[in-house]
């Protein structure tokens, strides 16, 4: 199998299944003018903002917040308050990608958009608590959530990105389940498969176990940044939901993990946020003895 060519992915700019979200973001940029784009890791928030930038590149600034902070984002952004005529005619979009999951950062972005008289979209990983705080602090802001792909859309997305990929029905179902329907992880999974094979669940599972660190590299990087106590919490939750009183941790640690999109609260039980994350934790512990 190692001698066979890797499946080639189309570098297409098509965003199958995301037209509705792009339309809603554009509408929110027009009114109310400030929008929070949220979704789980790998859902396609960055790709969507890039598409919006491409559609109106002459009046849009895209900023990756992993490379800067909110205090420096003012640099290079026109201040139309100083240009009276343009202030009435130019509508400028500023798109802030990968915003830190902190209420204060979102509020600072809103203040910046008001200061520069601009429309602003902020992409941040989904956290129920964070979105609730934003809606309380900025009731005029719009929130657009980017959901996972459905199983049917996953199949059509795969046929678009990797037309040479062949799988039985159960193989498509397996990929959808293990990737949580997230385009980033679907791409990563397809990238490690070999061409010329018809894939079923068993063969796909073998590939996942052998190459899970390549498939789920964003989750691996996230886990590497955690404290030992935070890793222990995730290790406990991989076995199933637990109440806060069953987890040896302070509330601040649980809140931090929730803000980072690693766990979520359903009723009174904490759960891992992703099936793929659970699988990664299981494989890391099986193969290395720890997270």
pLDDT of 75 over the 60 cut: no
Overall domain count for the chain: 3
pLDDT at residue 13 in the model: 58
pLDDT of 24 over the 70 cut: yes
pLDDT of 88 over the 70 cut: no
Among 84-88, 185-189, 221-225, 266-270, the least confident range: 84-88
Torsion of the alpha carbons at 47, 53, 56 and 57, rounded to the nearest 10: -130
For residue 102, whether the previous peptide bond is cis, meaning omega lies within 30 degrees of 0, is no
Give the chain's length.
291
| 126-168 confidence digits (pLDDT tens) | 999 999 999 999 999 999 999 999 999 999 999 999 998 999 9
Task: Identify which has the larger pLDDT, 82 or 196.
Answer: 196
C-alpha 81, offset from chain centre: 34
Do 200 and 229 fall within a single domain?
no
CA distances from 71 to 34, 74, 108, 151, 288 (A): 18, 7, 9, 41, 41
Among 19-23, 79-83, 192-196, the least confident range: 79-83
* Domain CATH number, residue 245: 1.10.10.10
Do 141 and 243 fall within a single domain?
no
Per-residue pLDDT averaged across 12-21, rounded?
A: 75
* Domain CATH number, residue 191: 1.10.8
- Which residue, 126, 145, 164, sits at the end of a domain? 145
Kindly indicate the confidence band of residue 20, based on its pLDDT and cuts at 50, 70 and 90: very high
Do 203 and 259 fall within a single domain?
no
Among 78-87, 160-169, 194-203, 229-238, the least confident range: 78-87
- Distance CA(50)–CA(45), nearest Å, equals 9
Helix (H, G, I), strand (E, B) or coil at 68: coil
Mean per-residue pLDDT over the chain, rounded: 89
pLDDT of 183 over the 60 cut: yes
Share of the chain above pLDDT 70, in %: 89
Q: Alpha helices, DSSP H only, in 31-163?
A: 45-55, 84-89, 103-115, 128-137, 151-161
Task: Identify which has the larger pLDDT, 43 or 78.
Answer: 43
pLDDT of 1 over the 70 cut: no
Do 178 and 241 fall within a single domain?
no
Domain residues for the domain of 49 are 19-145
pLDDT of 277 over the 70 cut: yes
- Distance CA(228)–CA(247), nearest Å, equals 14
C-alpha 161, offset from chain centre: 19
Give the torsion sign (CA, 56, 84, 114, 61). positive
89 Cβ contact list (under 8 Å, min separation 6)? none
């Amino acid at each position: 199998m190692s001698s066979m060519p890797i499946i080639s992915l189309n570098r297409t700019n098509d965003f199958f299944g995301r037209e509705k979200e792009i339309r809603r973001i554009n509408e929110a940029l027009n009114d109310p003018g400030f929008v929070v784009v949220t979704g789980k890791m790998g859902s396609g928030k960055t790709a969507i903002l890039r598409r919006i930038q491409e559609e109106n590149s002459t009046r849009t600034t895209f900023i990756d917040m992993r490379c800067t902070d909110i205090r420096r984002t003012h640099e290079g952004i026109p201040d139309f308050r100083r240009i009276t005529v343009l202030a009435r005619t130019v509508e400028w979009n500023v798109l802030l990608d990968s915003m830190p999951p902190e209420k204060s950062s979102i509020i600072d972005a809103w203040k910046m958009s008001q200061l520069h008289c601009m429309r602003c979209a902020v992409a941040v990983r989904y956290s129920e608590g964070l979105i609730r705080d934003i809606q309380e602090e900025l009731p005029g802001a719009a929130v657009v959530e980017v959901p996972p792909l459905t199983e049917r859309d996953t199949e059509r997305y795969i046929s678009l990105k990797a037309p040479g990929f062949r799988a039985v029905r159960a193989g498509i179902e397996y990929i959808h389940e293990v990737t949580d329907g997230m385009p980033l992880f679907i791409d990563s999974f397809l990238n490690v498969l070999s061409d010329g094979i018809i894939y079923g669940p068993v063969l796909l599972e073998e590939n996942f176990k052998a190459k899970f660190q390549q498939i789920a590299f964003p989750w691996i990087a996230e886990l590497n940044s955690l404290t030992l106590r935070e890793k222990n919490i995730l290790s406990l939750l991989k076995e199933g939901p637990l109440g806060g009183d069953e987890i040896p941790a302070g509330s601040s640690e649980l809140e931090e993990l929730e803000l980072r999109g690693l766990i979520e609260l359903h009723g009174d039980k904490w759960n891992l946020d992703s099936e793929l994350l659970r699988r990664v934790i299981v494989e890391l512990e099986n193969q290395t003895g720890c997270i």
